[in-house]
Amino acid sequence: MEFKITVISDTHTRHRKCEGELPGGDILIHAGDFMSSGYSPYEAEEFLNWFDAISGYDTKVFIAGNHDRLMQSDPEWVKFILSNREDLNYLLDEKLEFWDKEDQPLIIYGSPWQPEFYNWAFNLPRNGEEIAEKWSLIPDSTDILITHGPPFGYLDVPGNQDIHVGCERLRERIDEIRPKIHIFGHIHGSHGYYYNGHTHFLNASILNERYDYANLPLSFVWDSETNQISWENN
């Protein structure tokens, strides 16, 4: 079954910059960091209003990122603010399940955690048991995985540096379960796409490391049976 998908990440309150590049389709995904400092309810609500109002997509999914502090610090506010936005699917260590025409399941799983990075949100010690436990929650049958940060070794190099900063424990879990698609952001300087033979990796950051709008949303058609994708605008 074919799905038309658009993915974005790391909009940091500049989400309206990309709204002319959202062609519509089956699924729109945001992989976190829609806020700046992460303390302002106004920032979060303005993004959610915008995301909710986008037309042309059957399903809209998002997770939080390390800049989205409010999503971790005030879960009751999050519950309240999402209560009247039934078209938005916020995933916090949970899955969203579809059924295709042949009654085969399609599982999307989302999680915001990343290795500790200054004093931001959803941080856990690198290589510790806590972060490994978070990744162990990812179902073996996950088709599309959404995390805020990248796995170690895939699209995880900050600009002008020769280091990999992705999560080693996440890489271990991905190598084990082999999701068909893995969507993330966080490392703005590694925006792009890579395919390792069984998983399509997409770093969907739309801002560069100077926080300028530099990268178009990634839009593609995905065949869930063959795991082939064809690009819409890239």
The yes-or-no verdict on residue 129 having pLDDT over 70 is yes
Taking only the tens place, the pLDDT of each residue in 174-184 is: 999 999 999 99
What is the reported pLDDT for 102? Answer: 67
Which whole-number Å values give the CA distances from 160 to 150, 188, 207, in the listed order? 17, 12, 16
Q: Report how far residue 200's alpha carbon sits from residue 228's, in angstroms, rounded to the nearest whole number.
A: 9
Alpha carbons 204 and 214: distance in angstroms, whole number: 11
Residue 161 banded pLDDT, cuts 50, 70, 90 = confident
| Structure tokens given for 176 | 């084990």
Note if the pTM is more than 0.75.
yes
Mean pLDDT of 180-190: 97
Compute the residue count for the chain.
Answer: 234
Query: Where are the domains positioned within the chain?
Result: 2-231
Say whether pLDDT at 41 is over 90.
yes
pLDDT of residue 119: 86
Q: What is the pLDDT of residues 76-112, one digit of tens each?
A: 999 999 999 999 999 999 999 987 666 778 999 999 9
188 has pLDDT over 80: yes
Query: Are 217 and 6 in contact, with CB atoms under 8 Å apart?
Result: yes
Spatial CA neighbour of 2 closest among 232, 226, 231, 233: 226
| Listed residue (94, 131, 89, 133) closest to 113, CA to CA | 131
Domain 2-231 CATH superfamily: Metallo-dependent phosphatases (3.60.21.10)
pLDDT above 70: percentage of residues in the chain: 98
Angle 129-136/168-177 helices, nearest 10 degrees?
A: 30
Interhelix angle for 75-82 vs 41-53, to 10°? Answer: 30
Mean pLDDT, the chain, whole residue set: 95
